Amino acid sequence: MHKIIFLIQCSDRKGLLAAISDYFYGQGYNILHCQQHSDTREMRYYMRLELDLKDLMTTRKVLQEEFGKFAAHLGLTWECHFTDYRNRVAILVSKTSHCLFDLLSRQHEGDLVCDIPLIISNHPDLEHIADQFRVPFYYLPITKETKLEQEAQIQTLLTKHNIDLVVLARYMQILTPQFTHAWRERVINIHHAFLPAFQGANPYLRAYERGVKMIGATAHYASEDLDQGPIIEQDVVRVNHELSPAGLKKIGKDVERQVLSRAVQAHLEHRIMVFNNRTIVFNAAY
């Protein structure tokens, strides 16, 4: 069953659920699923609404135009998505393969519903994985002097392939503010640490030096500030003093795979809403 998904947020007040539900009822839509959250601290209201696409009796443009008039009256911020459209995802990598292989495997098995038309890397090392899944691989080397030129090449490829989402699957380069601004909330990064602890490079060594008892991974939207974007998904694993930095890294790989795939899936399923650098992530509806 294909669906229409509305993501709605606004200042919290009484009557919002009734007003929005009555609107769609009056338009002849069957509400398949509704999730909502009231943030009493920020006085903010969030709603994720699924409608049956078969009930659409107008064009999609008219649906959004008419809802836009209703939303303006109530002061709603909103997005509308249609699940018969497959998002197009670009994956950026460097030399580390585990997150790339995991994403490609999940997409191949149908667990991540999207198309992956290209992989971009600043190193040639992982081309064999792209070949295995028959995904075009673009090697774009980078130096300190050519960073802006290389990033412009990436932008050209993303535009050419009509990309909706960029996934940094251990892409060990810092994106410029111009890039993250242009792709705001459309670039997901995996950081191999439980942010905000151990930001930046080599967190496993610093975790070892601190004698941590838990290691983790964080997936977040990339922003102008390094490792400071809205957090989408996190997880941790308990460890002990017997593990070396290499042992911590090995365990951490599994956490990274799971956290990144869950974050990408939540984005593809339109379950994430952002307000003031904080995410609301609704549970999957099965």
**Per-residue model confidence as pLDDT tens digits over 1-47:** 899 999 999 999 999 999 999 999 999 999 999 999 999 999 999 99
Strand partners, 139: 121
Does any domain span residue 99?
yes
Domain end position, chosen among 45, 67, 82: 82
Residues 99 and 72 in one domain: no
Q: Which residues, 6+ apart, have CB-to-CB distance to 138 below 8 Å?
A: 118, 119, 120, 121, 157
- The separation between the first and the last C-alpha atoms of the chain, rounded to the nearest angstrom, is 12
For residue 190, tell me if it sits in a domain: yes
Last residue of a domain, one of 48, 82, 116: 82
192 plus 270 within the same structural domain: yes
Same structural domain for residues 54 and 118? no
Q: Are residues 266 and 153 in the same domain?
A: yes
Catalytic hit among 131, 227, 235, 254:
227
pLDDT digits (tens, 9 = 90+) for 81-90: 999 999 999 9
Answer yes or no: is 27 within a domain: yes
Is the pLDDT at 219 greater than 90? The verdict is: yes
Please provide the average confidence, as pLDDT, over all residues in the chain. 92
The CATH code of the domain that includes 118 is 3.40.50.170
Total of domains in the chain: 2
CA distances from 188 to 42, 80, 150 (A): 25, 20, 19
SS (H, E, C) the chain: CCEEEEEEEEECCCCHHHHHHHHHHHCCCCEEEEEEEEECCCCEEEEEEEEEHHHCCCCHHHHHHHHHHHHHHHCCEEEEEECCCCCEEEEEECCCCHHHHHHHHHHHHCCCCCEEEEEEECCCCCHHHHHHCCCCEEECCCCCCCHHHHHHHHHHHHHHCCCCEEEECCCCCCCCHHHHHHCCCCEEEEECCCCCCCCCCCHHHHHHHHCCCEEEEEEEECCCCCCCCCEEEEEEEECCCCCCHHHHHHHHHHHHHHHHHHHHHHHHCCCEEEECCEEEECCCCC
Predicted local distance difference test score (pLDDT) of residue 216: 83
Q: Are residues 194 and 70 in the same domain?
A: no
pLDDT band at 209 (very low <50, low <70, confident <90, very high): confident
Does residue 74 share a domain with residue 94? no
Whose tokens are 């009484």? That residue is 14
98, 222: one domain: yes
Average pLDDT over residues 116-144: 97
Neighbouring residues of 47: CB distance < 8 A, sequence distance ≥ 6? 6, 7, 8, 9, 16, 17, 20, 34, 35, 36, 37
Annotated catalytic residue 227: yes
AA letter at 100:
L
What is the value of pTM for the model shown?
Answer: 0.92
The reply to whether 199 falls in a domain is: yes
Q: Are residues 115 and 41 in the same domain?
A: no
Q: With 80 as the cut, is the pLDDT of residue 204 above it?
A: no
119 & 72 share domain: no
232 in a domain, yes or no? yes
Which pLDDT tens digit goes with each residue over 180-193?
A: 999 999 999 998 76
pLDDT at 99 over 90: yes
Q: What is the pLDDT of residues 236-275, one digit of tens each?
A: 888 878 778 788 778 888 999 999 999 999 999 999 999 9
Which residue range(s) make up the domain with 69? 3-82
Among 112, 60, 105, smallest CA distance to 86 is for 112
Residue 54 has pLDDT above 80, yes or no: yes
> Where does a domain end: 82, 110, 132?
82
Q: Examine residue 286 and state whether it is found in any structural domain, yes or no.
A: no
Report the CATH number that the domain containing residue 10 is assigned in CATH.
Answer: 3.30.70.260
